Amino acid sequence: MSTGQTTGGRPRVVIVGSGFGGLFAAQRLRKAPVDVTLVAKTTHHLFQPLLYQVATGILSQGEIAPATREILRDQENTRVVLGEVSDIDLAARTVTSTVLGRTTVHPYDELIVAAGAGQSYFGNDRFAEFAPGMKSIDDALELRGRIFGAFELAELATDPAEIDRLLTFVVVGAGPTGVEMAGQIAELARRTLHRDFTTIDPSSARVILLDAAPQVLPPFGPLGQKAHKRLNEIGIEVQLGAMVTDVDADGIVVKDGDGHQRRIPAATKIWAAGVQASPLGKQLGDQSGAAVDRAGRISVQSDLTLPGHPEVHVVGDMISLNRLPGVAQVAIQGGRFAADAIMARLAGRSTAPEFHYRDKGSMATISRFSAVAQIGKLRLSGFIAWMMWLVVHLAYIVGFRSRVTTVLHWMVSFLGRGRSERVATQQQVYGRLALEKLGPDFEVSKTGGPGRLGLPADVGGRKSA
């Protein structure tokens, strides 16, 4: 076990997470007289809102996931550390992280926790095997392989029922992610792939968007109906009031509002419903007495700190406060607010007592040239909303290079019919399930432990991935 380095005896700020909350907090502290350590379990900052475009072959993973180290390299007071945080000790004021068996303890004077949220299957984790979620680059690349692979297998199949099953795509969850994902699969099938196959007609693919809720995009109010209409226009079947009761390799079982159960044969299922906050929230709740809700979100005080711990700030998707939504702006503004509070406290100034979220609006794309946007009382749909979506997303993509290549890829897909990123490797498609089958033994083998897997020495005995 090693101890995280500190320099110069300045106050130590530890940030957990390199997502929207963590990264924007770190950037806000760039000129502060503190030593910042940013610990995250990935080496990149992930722009989650565009994951669906990686999954459907429009963008490459690099465009939405620049290296955190590169983004922060000119920030002299900041050190970026790879590691999964397993423990936060509020009494000892330490954060413990691990990577490949190497454990590091990071002492802190101020802590910002921005570990975000993962997928929730509402207690049915077994669904994950057959209906991957979309929370990480791994998820998006696995989905890309599954989506493009389904067309390939359909081309080989001879039984009409089998072809139908392979060409049926079910997206669970009619929130922004589900709507965007379903829209892009439909466009992929009807605009991009329609001339690429000999035997099958990809444009006949069935895309189903289903949700237990009674409306599409519930937070968008009347715009939800407009989105619903547009989804139907591009050939997507929207099934509402439909609750998923089972998922397996060959299909999905849903229960309708009248209690009737039915099965939809479908090779590709995508889970875009429900989130569960990082388990670090529960740890913080147990130690501070702050309540944690069913989705794992911790009740923070109005200044985003924990009760009795003004030095611990929690931001973004992990928090429960005034029914704030789990969106990027809540995390960005929360991260900046926490950084400002730290700087004020260290300078002996009073800190702002309350975090005020400034709602800059929300938007979702449906297909090319069509989106819905809600900004204050303004409600927009169609091409204008789509242009706004384009500009806003481009502004928040980190890095000039990524912006340029993203625009080029958007031109290929939205002005043309192509998709520049159709590659998916076997490892991307099968890796997650293979690793799950190996279980904890794989961790042991990765770190040079006993070769219980019977892997060759150069695989089982290596010291790093």
Ligand X SMILES: Cc1cc2nc3c(=O)[nH]c(=O)nc-3n(C[C@H](O)[C@H](O)[C@H](O)COP(=O)(O)OP(=O)(O)OC[C@H]3O[C@@H](n4cnc5c(N)ncnc54)[C@H](O)[C@@H]3O)c2cc1C
By C-beta, is 51 or 212 nearer to ligand X?
A: 51
SS3 call for 460: helix
H helix intervals, 83-175: 137-156, 160-166
DSSP per-residue letters across 235-269? TEEEEES-EEEEEETTEEEEE-TTS-EEEEE-SEE
- Name 420's Cβ contacts closer than 8 Å, sequence gap at least 6: 57, 58, 60, 409, 412, 413
By C-beta, is 208 or 327 nearer to ligand X?
A: 327
For position 42 contacting ligand X by CB under 6 A, the verdict is yes
Is 436 part of the annotated catalytic residue set? Answer: no
Residue 67 to residue 140: CA distance in whole angstroms = 17
By C-beta, is 22 or 460 nearer to ligand X?
A: 22
For position 19 contacting ligand X by CB under 6 A, the verdict is yes
Count other C-beta atoms under 10 Å from residue 261's C-beta: 11
Q: Of 407, 411, 432, give the one whose Cα is nearest residue 144.
A: 432
Residue 270 to residue 338: CA distance in whole angstroms = 35
| Cβ at position 455, least distance to ligand X in Å | 27
How many chain residues bind ligand X (CB under 6 A)?
Answer: 32
For position 138 contacting ligand X by CB under 6 A, the verdict is no
Residue 193 to residue 214: CA distance in whole angstroms = 32
| Cβ at position 315, least distance to ligand X in Å | 6
For position 85 contacting ligand X by CB under 6 A, the verdict is yes
By C-beta, is 40 or 254 nearer to ligand X?
A: 40
| Cβ at position 308, least distance to ligand X in Å | 23
* Stretch 308-347: interaction string toward ligand X, x if CB under 6 A: --------xx--------xxxx-x----------------
| Cβ at position 119, least distance to ligand X in Å | 8
By C-beta, is 135 or 191 nearer to ligand X?
A: 135
* Stretch 155-194: interaction string toward ligand X, x if CB under 6 A: ---------------------xx-----------------
* In contact, 106 and 81? CB cutoff 8 Å: yes
Q: How many CA atoms lie within 13 A of 123 on its CB side?
A: 2
| Cβ at position 112, least distance to ligand X in Å | 10
Q: Segment near ligand X (CB under 6 A), from 48-56, 290-298, 351-359, 398-406?
A: 48-56
Interface with ligand X (CB under 6 A), residue from 59, 114, 212, 342: 114
For position 18 contacting ligand X by CB under 6 A, the verdict is yes
The catalytic residue among 110, 142, 180, 421 is: 180
Count other C-beta atoms under 10 Å from residue 385's C-beta: 25
Count other C-beta atoms under 10 Å from residue 427's C-beta: 12
By C-beta, is 165 or 297 nearer to ligand X?
A: 297
| Cβ at position 365, least distance to ligand X in Å | 9
* In contact, 135 and 48? CB cutoff 8 Å: yes
* Stretch 51-80: interaction string toward ligand X, x if CB under 6 A: x-----------------------------
| Cβ at position 278, least distance to ligand X in Å | 5
SS3 call for 204: helix
- Name 84's Cβ contacts closer than 8 Å, sequence gap at least 6: 41, 97, 98, 99
For position 304 contacting ligand X by CB under 6 A, the verdict is no
Interface with ligand X (CB under 6 A), residue from 56, 104, 215, 278: 278
Residue 436 to residue 446: CA distance in whole angstroms = 14
Q: What are phi and psi of 122, to 5 degrees?
A: 50, 45
By C-beta, is 176 or 460 nearer to ligand X?
A: 176
| Cβ at position 86, least distance to ligand X in Å | 7
Q: Of 2, 11, 42, 17, give the one whose Cα is nearest residue 347.
A: 11
- DSSP code, position 44: B
88-107 binders of ligand X (CB under 6 A): none
Instruction: Please name the amino acid found at residue 111.
Output: L
- Name 348's Cβ contacts closer than 8 Å, sequence gap at least 6: none
By C-beta, is 114 or 150 nearer to ligand X?
A: 114
For position 48 contacting ligand X by CB under 6 A, the verdict is yes
Interface with ligand X (CB under 6 A), residue from 4, 21, 57, 460: 21
| Cβ at position 144, least distance to ligand X in Å | 14
Query: At CB < 8 A and 24+ separation, what contacts does 121-127 make?
Result: 121/271, 121/274, 122/273, 122/274, 124/244, 124/247, 126/247, 127/244, 127/246, 127/247, 127/271
427-456 binders of ligand X (CB under 6 A): none
Q: Segment near ligand X (CB under 6 A), from 113-121, 225-233, 337-345, 418-426?
A: 113-121
Q: Segment near ligand X (CB under 6 A), from 43-51, 69-77, 221-229, 261-269?
A: 43-51
Which residues are part of the catalytic machinery? 180
* Footprint on this chain of ligand X (rule: CB under 6 A): 16-22, 39-42, 48-49, 51, 84-85, 114-116, 134-135, 176-177, 278, 280, 316-317, 326-329, 331
